[in-house]
């Protein structure tokens, strides 16, 4: 009934931009913070990635409704979800594959995989050649403490420490300290890593528990990655459009 009601009140202009079953997360819960990094230069490739025509979180409708339920629970604790990636076009995955094989690796790129070459990212399971994100049922996200100072902004000219460094030295993300930055391809980014502090462990557990209560499953090599079993289906390759009111 909730999903049917949502479809009824969505404007034709918004619904027409996406395939059936997909929604803009902002249309379900505008309070969820979004920082869609692949639509910017603040990511492991250092540039916007193919298919990200807008910095919008697009998901399957059921996924969006469950994220809203998670957000409502977190809000009572003065916390918020922050989305880094949602639906990922197939062309973006192909762009990542080509990038990993281009034979070049800058210092900025190495911040995300400090202990091995980017050519090994797929072999080691940090990036998939067929991504669940392309079904609209997988997500990358973190938590924001709404009572904290989250004003730090990414400066592309600054030489930040790698993603495993203490939070004050690595690139700012305006979120709680999970022990690594987002997209950190390193053992420290594994959800159950033993090398993080008790406080960082508590934040990871808070996110895990809140997502699990709505049926989301975490990927063990990435504390930030969750999927909703049964909500996916086929992979898509439509570009992410701008949301229209």
Q: What is the pLDDT of residues 111-149, one digit of tens each?
A: 999 999 999 988 888 888 888 999 999 999 999 999 999
Report d(CA 220, CA 191) in Å as an integer: 5
- Contact between 195 and 163 under an 8 Å Cβ cutoff? The reply is no
Q: What's the mean pLDDT when you consider all of the chain?
A: 92
pLDDT at 21 over 60: yes
Instruction: State the catalytic residues.
Output: 222
Which residues lie below 8 Å from residue 160, measured CB to CB, with a gap of 6+?
A: 111, 169, 170, 171
pLDDT at 8 over 80: no
pLDDT at 230 over 70: yes
Q: What is the pLDDT of residue 166?
A: 98
Known binding-site residue numbers: 133, 140, 225
Q: Which CATH number is associated with domain 2-227?
A: 3.30.1380.10
Q: What is the pLDDT of residue 122?
A: 86
pLDDT band at 93 (very low <50, low <70, confident <90, very high): very high
pLDDT band at 85 (very low <50, low <70, confident <90, very high): very high
What Rg, from alpha-carbon coordinates, does the chain have?
17
Q: What value does the mean pLDDT take over residues 74-96?
A: 97
The DSSP symbol for 43 reads S
pLDDT at 98 over 70: yes
Q: What is the pLDDT of residue 244?
A: 84
Q: What is the pLDDT of residue 130?
A: 87
Q: What value does the mean pLDDT take over residues 212-216?
A: 98
pLDDT at 3 over 80: no
Report d(CA 28, CA 14) in Å as an integer: 12
Known binding-site residue numbers for Zn(2+): 133, 140, 225
């Amino acid at each position: 009934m909730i999903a049917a009601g949502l479809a009824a009140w969505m404007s034709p202009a918004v619904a027409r931009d996406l395939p059936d079953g997909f929604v803009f997360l902002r249309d379900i819960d505008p309070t969820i913070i979004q920082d869609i990094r692949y639509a910017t230069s603040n990511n492991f490739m250092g540039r916007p990635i193919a298919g990200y025509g807008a910095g919008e979180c697009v998901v399957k409708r059921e996924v969006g409704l469950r994220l809203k339920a998670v957000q409502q629970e977190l809000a009572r604790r003065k916390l918020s979800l922050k989305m880094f990636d949602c639906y990922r076009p197939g062309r973006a995955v192909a762009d990542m594959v080509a990038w990993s094989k281009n034979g070049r690796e800058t210092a900025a790129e190495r911040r995300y995989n400090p202990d091995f070459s980017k050519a090994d990212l797929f072999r080691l399971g940090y990036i998939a050649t067929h991504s669940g994100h392309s079904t609209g049922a997988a997500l990358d996200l973190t938590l924001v403490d709404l009572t904290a100072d989250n004003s730090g902004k990414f400066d592309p000219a600054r030489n930040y420490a790698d993603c495993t460094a203490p939070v004050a030295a690595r690139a700012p993300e305006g979120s709680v300290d999970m022990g690594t930055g987002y997209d950190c391809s390193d053992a420290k980014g594994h959800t159950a890593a033993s090398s993080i502090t008790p406080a960082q462990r508590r934040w990871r557990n808070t996110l895990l528990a809140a997502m699990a209560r709505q049926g989301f499953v975490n990927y063990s090599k990435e504390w930030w990655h969750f999927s909703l079993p049964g909500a996916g289906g086929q992979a898509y390759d439509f570009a992410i459009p701008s949301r229209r009111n």
